[in-house]
């Protein structure tokens, strides 16, 4: 069996979004699972829209996802160059071959003329295919038009009949070539069309499997015709399902399709995001969803991809009717995230399973951004900070969430910090009984102020005050945190420290008395 060679071939005309990133991931994983090669090729022949900024953004996104390519930009390889704009001579050579064999021809129709013909055919209910006006020009007519400096494109001479695509995911799909017509392979500016360049590149780069989104399925018959014209073998085709948003509509810039780097900026780990993307249209053989990259690289098989649309259930689109996600920064984006999405569940699992030192190293930049930890404590080896961060990680779905918690340990506790719902609870008669009882019972040596000792004092508070359940535990939480939810209380209070807890109790008890007046 020949070596498996897959490729990801983005156009540098914008950011890398989830659809493109998933395509890259599937190609990468299949190559790794088969012991093959993963190639990166940049399709930058759209001169008007391609930019260097986008090119570098695509590379940076792939690097963040740890999808390392075996051949391509910055790496090299035996089949370069790997940017289409540097391969124009190659495309010109093969176009000349097709012209010489009468499998392609020069078309001198202007853009205005073609647009008029297209509108006429559509008005008549006919498919908008080229009418073949220049198909049978004589060599004398061609040379005369060239001598008159008339611009031209090169069209592929589409054979009549049916093209059958044998697709690993979609099955057998048939196309009638009469509905395709003679299509352009070289544009008037000399740059190749997508369908032509991709065939030349995939053949010369020995690509064995073309894995891409189902939106490209309609391009495949054109590409197969070019393969046949050259007498080249086809690669294996695999067109994976489209990705839809939580409203079951195709992703768009106003619809949840945002830059992959936005998830990096929110503090998702690349391994978690890859795990989530792998499940968008693919199912693991053992049914387990939480997977490491090593596992994905060993078990991924494109044959297990589904035809059904995959739901990108990350954003609550009902709250963002006219929002263009691509333009939001990470803080703006956060308010539209589904709290219980599969991405967040997987991300939480990955954060929990991350080695302590790695976790601390990864989260520190996000802690620093909150700007509440003193400079002399902002260190990976600071034991108090480490203890706080290690205790908090079970509550994190992504690292930017640390700003919800870290301030509690480093900023002064004030009356105004007590939220309104907690204030209402503090008016109940039992609240002061519980708060004052707990305050007396923890009047112990600071050295004994540990989570286990605190838990024991909480239980004793219940016995002494005669309260239990919500009355007891909610009162204790509000009295010490000013909030009705949060971390496991004994652990949280130990991390706060004896002095801070005592001060908070005084503050909330005073406020509760005032509220009852």
In whole angstroms, what is the distance from residue 477 CA to residue 408 CA?
13
In whole angstroms, what is the distance from residue 15 CA to residue 152 CA?
33
Residues 6+ apart with CB under 8 A from 456: none
Cβ-based neighbour number of residue 329 at 10 Å: 10
Any idea which residues carry the catalytic annotation? 253
In whole angstroms, what is the distance from residue 140 CA to residue 138 CA?
5
In whole angstroms, what is the distance from residue 483 CA to residue 306 CA?
45
CB 8 within 8 A of CB 212: no
SS3 category, 332: helix
Assign 3-class secondary structure to 393-405: HHHCCCHHHHHHC
Find, among 486, 446, 488, 480, the residue nearest to 461 by Cα: 480
Strands 236-240 and 209-213: parallel
Per the DSSP assignment, residues forming a β-bridge with 163 are 175
Report the length, in residues, of the chain. 517
Residues 6+ apart with CB under 8 A from 119: none
Q: For helices 342-353 and 270-278, what crossing angle results, to 10°?
A: 140
Report, in this order, helix, strand and coil percent for the chain, each rounded to 5: 50, 10, 35
Which strand ranges, in their side-by-side order, compose the sheet holding 162-167?
A: 171-176, 162-167, 236-240, 209-213
- For residue 15, what are its two tokens? 């950011």
- For residue 327, what are its two tokens? 């333009």
CB hemisphere CA count around 286 (13 angstroms): 8
Find, among 423, 424, 442, the residue nearest to 505 by Cα: 442
Cβ-based neighbour number of residue 14 at 10 Å: 18
In whole angstroms, what is the distance from residue 456 CA to residue 449 CA?
11
Per the DSSP assignment, residues forming a β-bridge with 83 are 42
CB hemisphere CA count around 330 (13 angstroms): 16
In whole angstroms, what is the distance from residue 242 CA to residue 336 CA?
22
In whole angstroms, what is the distance from residue 166 CA to residue 164 CA?
6
In whole angstroms, what is the distance from residue 202 CA to residue 206 CA?
6
């Amino acid at each position: 069996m020949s070596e498996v060679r897959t490729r990801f071939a983005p156009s540098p005309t914008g950011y890398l979004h989830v659809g493109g990133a998933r395509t890259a991931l599937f190609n990468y994983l299949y190559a790794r699972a088969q012991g093959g090669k993963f190639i990166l090729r940049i399709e930058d022949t759209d001169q008007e829209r391609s930019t260097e900024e986008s090119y570098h953004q695509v590379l940076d996104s792939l690097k963040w996802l740890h999808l390392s390519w075996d051949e391509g930009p910055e790496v090299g390889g035996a089949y370069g160059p790997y940017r289409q704009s540097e391969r124009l001579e190659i495309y010109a050579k093969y176009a000349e071959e097709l012209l010489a064999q009468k499998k392609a021809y020069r078309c001198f129709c202007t853009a205005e003329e073609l647009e008029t013909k297209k509108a006429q055919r559509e008005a008549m209910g006919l498919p908008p295919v080229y009418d073949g006006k220049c198909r049978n020009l004589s060599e004398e007519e061609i040379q005369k038009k060239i001598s008159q400096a008339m611009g031209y494109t090169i069209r592929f001479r589409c054979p009549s009949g049916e093209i059958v695509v044998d697709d690993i995911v979609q099955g057998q799909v048939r196309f009638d070539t009469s509905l395709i017509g003679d299509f352009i392979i070289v544009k008037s500016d000399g740059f190749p069309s997508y369908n032509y360049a991709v065939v030349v590149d995939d053949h010369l780069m020995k690509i064995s499997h073309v894995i891409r989104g189902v939106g490209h399925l309609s391009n495949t018959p054109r590409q197969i015709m070019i393969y046949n014209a050259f007498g080249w073998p086809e690669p294996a085709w695999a067109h994976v399902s489209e990705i839809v948003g939580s409203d079951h509509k195709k992703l768009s810039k106003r619809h949840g399709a945002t830059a992959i780097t936005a998830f990096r900026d929110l503090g998702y780990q690349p391994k978690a995001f890859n795990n989530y993307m792998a499940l968008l249209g693919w199912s693991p053989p053992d049914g387990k969803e939480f997977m490491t990259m090593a596992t994905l690289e060993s078990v991924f098989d494109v044959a297990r991809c589904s035809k059904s649309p995959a739901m990108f259930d990350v954003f609550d689109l009902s709250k963002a009717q006219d929002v263009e996600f691509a333009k939001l920064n990470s803080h703006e984006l956060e308010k539209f995230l589904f709290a219980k999405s599969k991405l967040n569940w997987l991300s939480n699992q990955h954060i929990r399973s991350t080695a302590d030192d790695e976790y601390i190293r990864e989260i520190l930049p996000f802690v620093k951004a909150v700007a509440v930890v003193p400079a002399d404590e902002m260190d990976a080896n600071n034991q108090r900070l480490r203890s706080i961060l290690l205790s908090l990680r079970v509550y994190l779905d992504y690292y930017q969430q640390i700003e919800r918690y870290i301030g509690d340990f480093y900023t002064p506790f004030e009356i105004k910090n007590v939220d309104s719902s907690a204030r209402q609870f503090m008016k109940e008669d039992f609240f002061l009984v519980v708060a004052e009882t707990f305050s007396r019972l923890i009047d112990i040596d600071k050295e004994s102020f540990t989570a286990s000792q605190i838990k024991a004092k909480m239980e004793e508070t219940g016995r002494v005050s005669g309260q239990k359940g919500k009355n007891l535990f909610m009162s204790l939480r509000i009295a010490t945190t000013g909030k009705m939810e949060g971390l496991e209380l004994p652990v949280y209070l130990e991390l706060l420290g004896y002095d801070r807890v005592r001060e908070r109790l005084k503050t909330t008890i005073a406020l509760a008395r005032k509220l009852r007046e």
